[in-house]
Structure formats: structure tokens, C-alpha cells
Structure 1
Amino acid sequence: MEPDLQQAAQLHTEIISWFTDNARDLPWRQRECSPWGVFVSEIMLQQTPVVRVLPVWEEWMQRWPTPAALAAEPSGEAVRAWGRLGYPRRALRLHAAATAMTAHFDGSVPGTHAELLTLPGVGNYTAAAVASFAFGRRETVVDTNIRRVHARALSGKALPAPALNAAEMRLAVALLPDDDAASVAWNASVMELGALVCTARSPKCEACPVRRRCAWVAAGKPAPEYVPKGQAWAGTDRQVRGAVMAVLRHSRGPVLRSLLLGPSDFVAADADQDPDLAALAKLHALQAPAAQLERALAGLLADKLAEENDGGLQLPA
């Protein structure tokens, strides 16, 4: 269902007003934050909560305040500094994007949706978000939080479709204010409402500024049409890959393949005194089968998150 002009105007007023009073004080929202700071935050916040991103973002901005500063270092340093944010290929994409900015945009973040799409690893969502939040442009930003607010408030559904579809995009476009500044405020406001109030599992409807207009509430809060599948972790290839990555991040040199593939009494004995060995001990404690460890190493090499030489495996140079 697409809103009429009056309904859209009411939603704009109420949700943006709520945001003005309740928005979190995040550093990438500050006026003094550079477009590069916004760009880094958007990449880090994909599939990762704000509380985990904040300290890493602050460390990155101190170390690499410009795209050129990051591009001047090996991509492995970006992976090392990524820490435990997860999905470390995003660190490689950030490094590649910084390199492209340095080579093709005079070391600056490009300011239009079309230019942003030319950067490695940047898709429609990131291009729209950076153009909106860093440059104040009127762009339709649609993330999971925004989709959920739209689904409940306008469509009366507990959750949006499993994948973004054309109908959702039409609704998002119809809801976007015509004014540039208002569109930026709207994007940020709906995203924040979804993150803090209209959450997936335990929505705080009593605190919602548009609960009286919410189609989902009016329909009696019907159950979701599907059950979202959670991602397993313990014992998975993802867990083993993450443990191997932790070893490589802690090591300043190559790590022998044999050490990664099998436990060692020497490692276990000295793990408490040496952070490098502690990471190895944690990997060995998983007791992952040899085939799973080999898959993890092969995947990291294929994804260019690691490289191998005669000395062993290490982060990319």
C-alpha cells in the first residue's frame, strides 16, 4: 500500500520529530564528520551492531583519517585492524575503495550515487546511504530496519519479505520527502526507529511515535508469514575461519601451516604468556576436523584474506 500525501506528511513529521529527541549521539552523525568517516561507518555497520562498530571506527579514523592514509598501507593491515567485526572481506573492500578514491577522485569520497557505484564493493544501498548522509543528497535509502518499519506501519506485516522486492522499493520511493534536507532526516529517522523501537524480535510499540497509525498494530499484530533463520556459529566453517583469522591478525609474520592444522604441547604450555600463542590455542581448542581446517585455509586464500609463502600463511601484504 502506498501512502497518500497527507499520510506521508504525518509520518514525516512524527518520525523526524521523534528522531530529533531520541537519536543516538554517534560520531559519524556529527557535522564535523568527514564523508570518509561516513563511508567507513556504512561499511562497518553492515551486519554488525553499533556497539561493536564504535571502538573500531574510532581507531580507524585516528589511524586512517583519509582514504589516502589507508591506501598507503598494505591491505593486510586493514584486515588486522578490522579485529572481531566479522565478515573481514569488508576490510578488503574498504581498502580497495580507498585505493580507488586515491587514484581516481583526488583522495576524496565521490559525492554522487553514480560515482560511488564505481568504487569496489559498493552497491546500491551503500551508494545511496553515503550520498544521503555524507553529502545531503535526496536518495532512497533502504536497509533492514527501514524495511521493517515500512512493512509494519504501511503494509500491516510483522516482517518485510525475506529479500528486498520491487513493491518495497516503490513504497520507499513514495515515502521519501521531496526536499533534500527532509529526505536525509527521514532516512536517518526511520532507520533509527527500526533499530531502537520497531525491532525484529521485541518491538517497543508503546514508545513508537506512529503506533496510532501503524497498520500492523491496527491488525492486532499478526504473526510473521515466515520464521527468520538464525545463523549457527558453534562448530561451523565460519567459526573455524574466524579462529584462523584471529591467529593471523595476532601474528606479525607467517604462521606455519602445520601449526594451524594441528595442536602443539608447546602452544598450550605458553598460551597464557603470549597473545599469538593464545590465539593458536583457541583455534586448537575447537578440535576442528582436518578437512574443515583445510577448507578454512583454502577459503581464506581464495578470498585474498591470507597469502601463503615458504614461511607459512599471513595476512596479505
Structure 2
Amino acid sequence: MEPGLQTVPQLHTEIISWFTANARDLPWRRRECTPWGVFVSEIMLQQTPVVRVLPVWEQWMQRWPTPAALAAEASGEAVRAWGRLGYPRRALRLHAAAAAMTEHFGGAVPDTHAELLTLPGVGNYTAAAVAAFAFGRREAVVDTNIRRVHARALTGKALPSPALTAAEMRLAVELLPADETASVAWNASVMELGALVCTARSPKCGVCPVRRHCAWVAAGQPAPDYVPKGQAWAGTDRQVRGAVMAVLRSARGPVLRSLLLGPVDLTAAGADADPDLAALAKLHALQAPAAQLERAVAGLLADKLAEENDGGLQLPA
């Protein structure tokens, strides 16, 4: 059969059936998960794989089972609990969103796309995903995995455009089932297919439920028309920022700039030193230039991930 929009009903049936049989059992997908649990998962899963998110999400939900519980604590505690998920500004946005929910929505997650967009740090994707997965709304959810499945199955391209385009959004809306319940299942199913089967680097086309309808397979699996750029890590400002953050998270109080900008004699401190010696040792093992360390500290202060007083630097109060 010629791949194209005429096959959409079959795509709906076959991908949703595949999802029903193969979906991962993730806690934020379970019936008992609250809208807040879904909201937290969506923020954590941005640019971070499920395997890293799971333990942090579970700890987070035990400690802060409601928006009000998180809002009642200092934003620095959210940053500390964020651990090594990366992009810690998301922790600040999550804390700010919890405060907004507590102040403006009676401590509940708002249930419409428009209201969700009023929360700090919430964009179109997160608003659509939470509205769909927490409240069963008919919304076009478009993440990287979904875009890749759409690109291959419907347009015959190996990869979607480097940035989301208006044409991709129109296609996502066209593909969305009219039935509300089916639309939620479709979003979740295509996302899971992209995560587990239709992957970026090694797609498992042999076990794909819609291989016979796939325009990319029909075209002979042409190579991408661009080379995705990977993100460097070793030696970058991001790595140094992360190492400084690890020191601040480990500390019970302010950390002297001199300890962060080092080098320092770690053997002279006691075993119960504050901050944690292991975190400090990892920071200085990077042998980052003084200018890079200064940039890292300045960036954390500018992003409000840290604050400074006479005692030194610490997580925000």
C-alpha cells in the first residue's frame, strides 16, 4: 500500500495495539498517579532519559506529593533534590510552578492547555502533554520521539527537521484521532514507539508494527539530510557548572569561594567536612582554568541557582 495519510486509521489501530502490548510500566502512567505526578514527570523527562528520571521522581513524590508541599520549602531544596538530572534550572521552574498552583489554582494542577501555559516555565509541549496525560484532553503532543515517527512513517525522512516546524505541527494535528480517549492513547503510543523502536540511531524496523506503511522504509531508508550535532561534555562550562553544583548540593551551609576556586588541601579537612570532600575533589580533578571556574560561579548566581553572602555560596533559600 502506498504510504500516506490514507493509512492513518490503520496506523492508529496498529500503533495503539502495539503500545497496549509493549508499553513500559512507568509510575506516571498508572491510574493512581496524580496530575501533579504527571506534571513533575514531564518536567524531569525533558532532555533526560527515563532510567535517570525514575529514582529521582519517586523520591520527589514521596517528599513532595503535592504542589503545596514543594512550594512550602525553599527553592534551593528543589535544586538539591534534583541531583544529577542535569539542566537544574528546571528544578527552579518546577518550584515556581508549584508556588503558582498553590497561589492561583488552590494547590491543584490546572487542567486546560491555556491555564497550564500561565505557569512559570511551561511551554506548548509541556502544557499539551500534561493536559493530555493527566486530564485526558485532546491535544497534539509533539516531542522528539513523536516527530521522528511522523517524519519516517509519513514523509519518508530519516529524521525530522532540526527544529520543530509549522508543517510538523499541522501533520501532528491531522494525525490526531477525533475521539478524546483515542487521542491520548495515540500520543502515548507514538511517543513510546519512537523511544523503543523507531530510535534515532538504530531503529528496530524488523519489529515495528507499521513497517509496511512506513514511507521511509518504502523509500529504501535514505540517510538523513543533515548530521545531528552531539553535545560535548568533557571540559565544557556545563561540566564545570555541574561539578560546582554538586559541591553546593552536598553542603549544609555556605561554601567559601576559595574552596570552589581552589586548589585546596583536601587531606587537611576532617571526614565530616562541609562540603563533601568527594564532590570537592571531583571539581578540582577537572583542573578547570580559573576563568572557567569564575564563569561557572557567575553563571549559577545569574541563573539564581546559587546565592552568595558573607559566608560564601549556597543553594537559594
Q: How far apart are residue 2 of structure 1 and its match?
A: 10
Letter in 1 for 2:237: D
1:48-68 per-residue CA deviation (whole Å, 9 max, x = no partner) reads 000000000000000000000
In structure 2, the residue matched to 1:76 is 76
In the other structure, the counterpart of 2:219 is 219
Question: Any idea what the Cα deviations from partners look like across 1:249-294, whole Å, max 9, x if unmatched?
Answer: 00010000011001111x2565877571110111011110000000
2:259 counterpart letter in structure 1: L
- Provide the aligned length of Structure 1 versus Structure 2: 315
1:240 has 2:250 as partner:
no
Alignment partner, residue 29 of structure 1: 29
Q: 1: CA distance between counterparts of 2:267 and 2:129? A: 46
Q: CA deviation at 1:168?
A: 0.5
Cα distance in 2 for partners of 1:254, 1:33 equals: 37
Aligned to 2:276, what secondary structure does the other structure show? helix
1:157-168 matches, within 5 Å, as 157-168=157-168
Whether contact under 8 Å (1:14, 1:210) holds in the other structure is yes
* C-alpha contact (below 8 Å) 1:156/1:219 kept by paired residues: yes
Q: Answer yes or no: is the 8 Å Cα contact 1:145–1:194 preserved in 2.
A: yes
**Map 1:158-307 → 2, pairs under 5 A:** 158-265=158-265, 267-268=266-267, 276-307=276-307
137-146 or 277-286: which moved more? 277-286
Letter in 1 for 2:104: H
Match of 1:119 in 2: 119
Aligned CA-pair RMSD: 1.4
For the pair 1:133 / 2:94, whether they are aligned, the reply is: no
1:91 alignment partner in structure 2: 91
Change (3 A) 1:313 1:2: farther
TM-score (norm 2): 0.97
Q: Which amino acid aligns with 2:288?
A: A
In structure 2, relative to structure 1, the CA distance for the partners of 1:295 and 1:91 (3 Å cut) is: same
CA contact under 8 A between 1:128 and 1:140: conserved in structure 2?
Answer: yes
Partner of 2:58: 58
SS, match of residue 186 in structure 2: helix
Structure 2's unaligned 5+ residue stretches are none
Work out the CA distance in 2 between the residues paired with 1:50 and 1:106. Answer: 30
TM-score (normalizing by structure 1): 0.97
1:2 & 1:174 partners in 2: Cα distance?
Answer: 15
Give the match for residue 105 of structure 1.
105
With over 3 angstroms needed to count, the CA separation of the structure-2 counterparts of 1:65 and 1:251, relative to structure 1, is same
Sequence identity, in percent?
87
CA distance in 2, matches of 1:195, 1:290: 40
4+ residue stretches of structure 1 with deviation over 2 A? 1-4, 268-275
CA contact (8 A) 1:101 1:110 kept: yes
Instruction: Give yes or no for the alignment of 1:143 onto 2:143.
Output: yes
Task: Evaluate the alpha carbon distance shift between residue 299 and residue 176 of structure 1 in structure 2; reply closer, same or farther with a 3 A threshold.
Answer: same
Kindly indicate whether the alpha-carbon contact (under 8 Å) linking 1:3 and 1:174 is maintained by their aligned counterparts in 2.
Answer: no
- Preserved contact between residue 248 and residue 314 of structure 2 (Cα < 8 Å): yes
